[in-house]
Structure 1
Amino acid sequence: MEKRVVVKISELTSKHKISLRELSRLSDVRHAALSELANGKRESISFSHIVKIAEALNIEDIREIIDLIDVTEKD
């Protein structure tokens, strides 16, 4: 089974009760990049962005930011 890394931007903004724009401001990660991640339009994120998001939201556990999921095959 194929696995994929998912960045949980929407979950983070809901949990921390902030907007995407506010997360962008706090983390110094471009709003467009965060939006693309939230909408599944971007498949990669740099480690430096993960660190910036973690620092902005005081996150200690990287699993709050990213997840590894099984990808179901589509015919």
Structure 2
Amino acid sequence: MSEDTRDRKIEIRINHLLAERKMSLRELARLSGIEPSNLSNLANGKRERIYLEHIERIADALDIDDISEIIRLSEKN
């Protein structure tokens, strides 16, 4: 692994998406069928593993066609 990849992290943009849509985490949980605690952990970067099924369900719930709206590779602070 190069040093460049260690200086980046995967960012799940749930909070941004919810703010844009004026939607609560609980509403997203209801629409996606994902536990609110799991969504909260994803939104706050507290998950070590990200399940693609969860990303698919979030995309379906928010009517998103481009995964880059949900996931972004960003620089670590």
TM-score, length of structure 2 as denominator length: 0.84
Tell me if 1:35 matches 2:47.
no
Counterpart-to-counterpart distance in 1, 2:12 and 2:49: 9
Counterpart-to-counterpart distance in 2, 1:16 and 1:44: 26
TM-score, length of structure 1 as denominator length: 0.86
What runs of 5+ residues in structure 1 fail to find an aligned partner?
A: none
Instruction: Give the C-alpha shift of residue 15 in structure 1.
Output: 1.1
What runs of 5+ residues in structure 2 fail to find an aligned partner?
A: none
Counterpart-to-counterpart distance in 2, 1:20 and 1:8: 12
Q: CA RMSD in A?
A: 1.2
The counterpart of 1:52, out of the listed 48, 52, 57, is 57
Q: Following superposition, which runs of at least 4 residues in structure 1 exceed 2 angstroms of deviation? A: none
More helix by percentage:
2
Residues 37 and 43 of structure 1 are in contact (CA less than 8 Å); yes or no, is this contact kept in structure 2?
no
Instruction: Give the C-alpha shift of residue 40 in structure 1.
Output: 2.1
Q: Percent identity?
A: 47
Which secondary structure does the structure 1 equivalent of 2:72 belong to? strand
